[in-house]
Chain A
Amino acid sequence: MVNPVYIIAVLLSVSFLLGLFRKPGSDFARLAALITLAFPAIVSVSWLLQFLGEPTSPFIIYTAGSVPPFSINLKMGIEEAFLTSAVNILGFFGFLYLYRTFKESGVSAVVLFLVLVMGLNVVIMTRDIFNLFVFLEITSIALIGLIFLKKDINAVSAGFKYLIAVSVISTILLLGIGFIYYFAGTLNIDDFVSKNSGAVKGMSTAVFLVIIAVLLELKPFPANGWGLDVYQSAHPGISAMISAGMATASLFVLYKILPFGAVYWMQIIAAVGVITFVGSNMLGIAQKNANRLLGYSSIGQIGLMVGIIGFSPMLGKHLWMVFFGLFISHFLAKAGLFWLSGMIGKENIKSWSVLRKQPLLLIAFGVFAFALIGFPPFPSFFGKWQLVMDLAAHGQFGWIVAILLGSMLEGVYLFRWLGYAIKLDVEADQKLDLGIEKLIPVGVFALMLFGASHFAIENVPGGLTLNLIPVYFILLLFVLDFLPAKIKNSIAILGMAYYAWLLYPSLQDDTLRLVFAGIFLVGGVLTLFAGYSVKGKRAGFYPFAIMMYAGLIGLVEAKNLLQFFFAWELMTLGSYVLIIRGKKSLVHAYNYMLFSLGGAYLIFLGMALSVAGQHGLSLSLLNTTHFPGWAYTLLAIGFLTKTAALGLHIWLPGAHAEAESDVSPMVSGILLKGGAFGLIVLFLAMGAEKAGGHPLLYALGWLGAITAVGGNLMAVFQEDAKRLLAYSSVGNLGYILFAFAFMTNVGWLTGLTYSINHFLFKTLLFLAIGGVVMRVKTHNMYEMGGLIKRMPWSFIAVLIGIITLAGIPPLSGYAGKWLFYNAVITKGWYFQGAMVFFSGTIAFLYCFKLIYSIFLGQEKDKFRKVKEVPVWYILPQFILIIGIMVFSARPDLVLKPIGALLSQAGYFPTDPLTWENVTASTNLGYWSGYKIMLVIGVMFVTLLTWLLVMSRKAQKVKQFNIVYSGERPFTPETTHFSHNMFAPYYKALGFLTIPVVTSFWEGVNSTAHAFADSFRKIYSGNGQTYIAHILAYIIIVYLIIF
Chain B
Amino acid sequence: MIRNSILILLIAGMAWILFQEFSAYHGADKLNSISEYYAKNAPTETGAANLVTAIVVTYRGFDTLGEVTILFLTAAIIGFMISTGKKTDRKPEQSNSELLETASNVLLPILILVGVYIFINGHLTPGGGFLGGAVLASAIILWLMSATGPKISHALLEVTEAFSGFGFVILGVLGIVLAGGFLDNKILHLGTFGTLLSAGAIPVIYSLIGLKVGAELSKIIIVLNQTQGEEK
Give the B-binding residues of A (Cβ under 8 A): 3, 5-6, 9, 12-13, 15-20, 22, 61-66, 69-72, 105-106, 108-109, 111-112, 115, 118-119, 122, 130-131, 134-135, 137-138, 141-142, 144-145, 148, 151, 179, 182-183, 185-186, 200-203, 205-206, 208-209, 1028, 1031-1032, 1034-1035, 1038-1039
Residue numbers in A under 8 Å from B2 (CB-CB):
none
B58: interface (CB < 8 Å): yes
Could you list 17 further interchain pairs (A-B, Cβ under 8 angstroms) beyond the known A16-B169, A131-B62, A1034-B13?
A5-B176, A9-B173, A12-B65, A13-B165, A13-B170, A63-B175, A64-B185, A66-B45, A122-B66, A134-B66, A202-B25, A205-B24, A209-B17, A1031-B10, A1031-B14, A1034-B17, A1035-B13
Min Cβ gap B78→A in Å is 9
- Pick the residue among A70, A72, A182 that contacts B38 (CB under 8 A): A70
Contact check, A63 vs B183: say whether CB atoms are below 8 A apart: yes
Contact check, B21 vs A108: say whether CB atoms are below 8 A apart: no
Residue numbers in A under 8 Å from B180 (CB-CB):
62, 64-66
Give A17 to B72 CA distance when docked, in angstroms.
12
Contact check, A138 vs B73: say whether CB atoms are below 8 A apart: yes
Give the A-binding residues of B (Cβ under 8 A): 6-7, 10, 13-14, 16-17, 20-21, 23-25, 28, 32-34, 37-38, 45, 58-63, 65-67, 69-70, 72-74, 76-77, 79-81, 83-84, 158-159, 161-163, 165-166, 169-170, 172-173, 175-176, 179-186
Contact check, A202 vs B21: say whether CB atoms are below 8 A apart: yes
Contact check, B34 vs A151: say whether CB atoms are below 8 A apart: no
Residue numbers in A under 8 Å from B181 (CB-CB):
61-66, 71
Give A148 to B159 CA distance when docked, in angstroms.
25
Min Cβ gap B157→A in Å is 10
Rank and list the top 6 A-B pairs by shortest CB-CB distance, nearest first: A202-B24, A65-B180, A65-B184, A1035-B13, A16-B165, A185-B32
Give A829 to B70 CA distance when docked, in angstroms.
79
Contact check, A131 vs B66: say whether CB atoms are below 8 A apart: yes
- Pick the residue among A63, A151, A183, A1035 that contacts B62 (CB under 8 A): A63
Contact check, B59 vs A71: say whether CB atoms are below 8 A apart: yes
Residue numbers in A under 8 Å from B60 (CB-CB):
64, 71-72, 130-131
- Contacts A134-B66, A202-B24 known; A64 to B80 CB distance under 8 Å? no
- Pick the residue among A5, A6, A72, A106 that contacts B80 (CB under 8 A): A106
- Pick the residue among A17, A63, A205 that contacts B166 (CB under 8 A): A17
- Pick the residue among A61, A148, A206 that contacts B81 (CB under 8 A): A148
Contact check, B13 vs A1031: say whether CB atoms are below 8 A apart: yes
Residue numbers in B under 8 Å from A118 (CB-CB):
69
- Pick the residue among B21, B37, B158, B182 that contacts A205 (CB under 8 A): B21
Give A200 to B28 CA distance when docked, in angstroms.
15
11 contacting pairs across A/B (C-beta < 8 A): A5-B176, A13-B165, A16-B72, A63-B183, A71-B62, A111-B76, A118-B69, A137-B66, A141-B73, A145-B73, A1035-B14
Contact check, B24 vs A201: say whether CB atoms are below 8 A apart: yes
Contact check, A112 vs B21: say whether CB atoms are below 8 A apart: no
Min Cβ gap B167→A in Å is 9
Contact check, A108 vs B79: say whether CB atoms are below 8 A apart: yes
Residue numbers in A under 8 Å from B32 (CB-CB):
185-186
Chain A residue at minimal CB-CB distance from B58: A64
Residue numbers in B under 8 Å from A63 (CB-CB):
61-62, 175, 181-184
Min Cβ gap A792→B in Å is 77
Chain B residue at minimal CB-CB distance from A1031: B10
Residue numbers in B under 8 Å from A20 (CB-CB):
158-159, 162
Residue numbers in B under 8 Å from A15 (CB-CB):
69, 72, 165
Min Cβ gap B106→A in Å is 33
Min Cβ gap B28→A in Å is 8
Give A977 to B81 CA distance when docked, in angstroms.
76
Give A699 to B175 CA distance when docked, in angstroms.
78
Give A183 to B25 CA distance when docked, in angstroms.
9
Chain B residue at minimal CB-CB distance from A179: B21
Give A182 to B172 CA distance when docked, in angstroms.
30
Give A895 to B73 CA distance when docked, in angstroms.
79
Chain B residue at minimal CB-CB distance from A13: B169
Q: Counting chain A CB atoms within 10 Å of each CB, which of B33, B80, B83, B184 scores highest? A: B80
Min Cβ gap B122→A in Å is 16
Chain A residue at minimal CB-CB distance from B200: A65
Contact check, A19 vs B76: say whether CB atoms are below 8 A apart: yes
Contact check, A202 vs B13: say whether CB atoms are below 8 A apart: no
Chain B residue at minimal CB-CB distance from A62: B181
Min Cβ gap B175→A in Å is 7
- Pick the residue among A3, A69, A201, A205 that contacts B176 (CB under 8 A): A3
Give A20 to B172 CA distance when docked, in angstroms.
21
Residue numbers in A under 8 Å from B183 (CB-CB):
63-64
Contact check, A108 vs B77: say whether CB atoms are below 8 A apart: yes
Residue numbers in A under 8 Å from B179 (CB-CB):
65
Give A454 to B25 CA distance when docked, in angstroms.
54
- Contacts A1028-B6, A1034-B17 known; A145 to B38 CB distance under 8 Å? no
Contact check, A141 vs B14: say whether CB atoms are below 8 A apart: no
Give A290 to B86 CA distance when docked, in angstroms.
35
Contact check, B73 vs A142: say whether CB atoms are below 8 A apart: yes
Min Cβ gap B75→A in Å is 9
Q: Counting chain B CB atoms within 10 Å of each CB, which of A12, A19, A108 scores highest? A: A19
Give A961 to B142 CA distance when docked, in angstroms.
111
Min Cβ gap A260→B in Å is 16
Residue numbers in A under 8 Å from B79 (CB-CB):
108
Chain B residue at minimal CB-CB distance from A109: B80
Chain B residue at minimal CB-CB distance from A1025: B3
Residue numbers in B under 8 Å from A209 (CB-CB):
17
Q: Counting chain B CB atoms within 10 Å of each CB, which of A70, A135, A183, A200 scores highest? A: A70
Give A1034 to B162 CA distance when docked, in angstroms.
41
Chain B residue at minimal CB-CB distance from A126: B62
Contact check, A64 vs B59: say whether CB atoms are below 8 A apart: yes
Chain A residue at minimal CB-CB distance from B74: A141
Contact check, A138 vs B6: say whether CB atoms are below 8 A apart: no
Give A64 to B53 CA distance when docked, in angstroms.
13
Residue numbers in A under 8 Å from B72 (CB-CB):
15-16, 19, 115
- Pick the residue among A9, A135, A148, A201 that contacts B77 (CB under 8 A): A148
Residue numbers in A under 8 Å from B14 (CB-CB):
1031, 1034-1035
Give A122 to B161 CA distance when docked, in angstroms.
23
Chain B residue at minimal CB-CB distance from A18: B162
Contact check, A16 vs B21: say whether CB atoms are below 8 A apart: no
